[in-house]
Amino acid sequence: MRRLLFALLPLAACAADPKDSGAADGGAVDGADGSDGVDGSDGADGSDGVDGSDGVDGSDGADGTDGTDGSDGGEDPRWAPLVAAAEADMAASGAYAISVAVLKDGELLYAGAFGARDGAGGDPVSPATLFGIGSTTKNMAAALALREVEAGRLSLEAPVAATLPALTPPNAELLPGATLRQLLMHSGGTNDWLDWRGDPDDGALESDALGGFSAAAYQMAVPGEIWNYSNPNFSIAGLMTEQVDPAGRPWADIVHDDLFAPLGMERCVGRGVDALADGDYTVGAGIGLSGLARDVGPADFDPAFARPAGLVWCTPTDMVTWGWALLGGHPEVLSEGVRAELLRPQIDLGYVEPGLQTYGFGLFIDQGFALSETEFSDKLRIDHGGNTLGHTSAFTLIPEDGVVVSVLASAYGADLSATTRAALEAVDALGPLRAPPVVAPDPSQWADFVGAYKDVYNVGDMIVSEEGGSLVVDCPLLDSLGIPYTRTLEVWGPRTFFWEVQGMTIDLSFLRPAGVSEGPAKYIRNRIFVATRDEAEAPPAFAPAAGTPGRPLRLGLPLGPDPLGPRAPGWAWAR
């Protein structure tokens, strides 16, 4: 039996393994097809810095790179461990480049860039070079939506149908009744979906929402009842923002005009084509959708549907400016009401004890976090990582210390833990470290997990019972198809277990609806599938449109986290 070391969440963004979706590179990906979907899965005074000064002095860093610390050319010895960590993370991930910025109390303390703009090793990167930030975009999309709520043009509690009456996905019939609040806290209840070869034209945010997504969407859970990461939540929220904009601007222009420009984030753009036109961008050591290695840059994928969920291009120096706005440093752009709503815990993630790991609007909020199996910080951490098919982002805020750290790398699934930790240590933002608290499993609660569940889209019936002090699961459909799985669930924490299926380990969490603290679990949740207790009101079965083939079983393909998702729950597990 494994014990959970509470919130063992290494400071990585999205270190996911390449997965073979079974499609050709750049093909359409459905979040339930085994790839787990993809979501693509930054000062108001006009100066380059965030404190009224240039912040980056253009001199060489201590190691001869273009890194700077905004004051003494990078020669301060406190940054030496950060430089070493960045170079180590870059080498370990296979990234062609890595760029880092550290801000404290509104002052840019460090900006450093290492490596080259592409795999050819030619032009070196600088702190001004653009990287894809992936799902870190989501809190920007949330902020724009909340600004419209503040202006009275959107409502957090109104249904999606009030703004998008034409969005009527036939197999996600509850989505039109979901609220903007539920979308922004990842409880819209639908599957993940993105066509990486989607149209980059601005109008495709709407046309793909009403077309490809609507046709592929299906209901996984009742909106608002559980947290489950799905990128279309933010694509739809972005489209709602676009629909009510008085000037009729596309989302990429709204994020530039309403956030980037007034904050002085001059190196951030909302389209891949804009990064391409800029010229100073990175090409990442990435993957195609077949799982094969390939270099990926802004010319390769730029679907408009994914932009609000994860396709902004930016620099760490501008990202820490954005982080300072989130911490209250720019009330003229983010009012206190908008900012407080963004950073307020909205829903529990459902992995450990309630209240310890939550999601705000496009931000994870952790009440303390572990850096290893023996080191734990009691500091409140707000963060959101991200991946594109060729880039990784780690974005971390420690509100108590006024610290923001942004790390961007030109590689898919890079582990940026060491760099982020070194940055936080350099500004003393971790506080005293102690042994992580242990959240022990409670077998007395397992009776609430026993029962018959159904997932009509993927695994079919899941019959959970207790045998010899363990929970076991039987899946008749998988048995009939010869798909291997282990019957015995391996304990991880109070309500989350490991399950081996098709040779891969995935997480299963037994969840009651949000706000319900007692009684039987209603859902078995994994990101790529959700099974509902039989006696509960299950989502309707998938009904293919006339003339289309029936929905294929998805578990014939590998399972795993998607290229642009959040921290995978597996990173929180103490093995």
pLDDT of 326: 98
Give CA–CA dist 208/214, Å, rounded. 8
The single residue listed with the structure tokens 């730029």 is 302
pLDDT of 478: 94
Query: Is residue 393 within 8 Å of 415, Cβ to Cβ?
Result: no
Task: State how far the alpha carbon of 485 is from the alpha carbons of 22, 449, 457, 488, 530, in Å.
Answer: 21, 19, 18, 9, 17
What string of pLDDT tens digits covers the 575 residues of the chain?
333 332 322 222 232 322 222 222 333 333 322 233 323 333 223 233 333 333 333 333 333 344 444 333 447 899 999 999 999 999 999 999 999 999 999 999 999 999 999 999 889 999 999 999 999 999 999 999 999 999 999 999 999 999 999 999 999 999 999 999 999 999 999 999 988 889 999 999 999 999 999 999 999 999 999 999 999 999 999 999 999 999 999 999 999 999 999 999 999 999 999 999 999 999 999 998 788 999 999 999 999 999 999 999 999 999 999 999 999 999 999 999 999 999 999 999 998 888 889 999 999 999 998 898 899 999 999 999 999 999 999 999 999 999 999 999 999 999 999 999 999 999 999 999 999 887 778 898 999 999 999 999 999 999 999 999 999 999 999 999 999 999 999 998 889 999 999 889 999 999 999 999 899 999 999 998 999 998 765 445 444 333 333 332 233 222 223 322 333 332 232 22
pLDDT of 546: 39
DSSP state of 257: I
Is the alpha carbon torsion for 223, 226, 227, 229 positive or negative?
negative
Task: State how far the alpha carbon of 419 is from the alpha carbons of 7, 81, 307, in Å.
Answer: 19, 9, 27
pLDDT of 536: 65
pLDDT of 290: 80
pLDDT of 537: 57
Strand partners, 194: 29
pLDDT of 438: 79
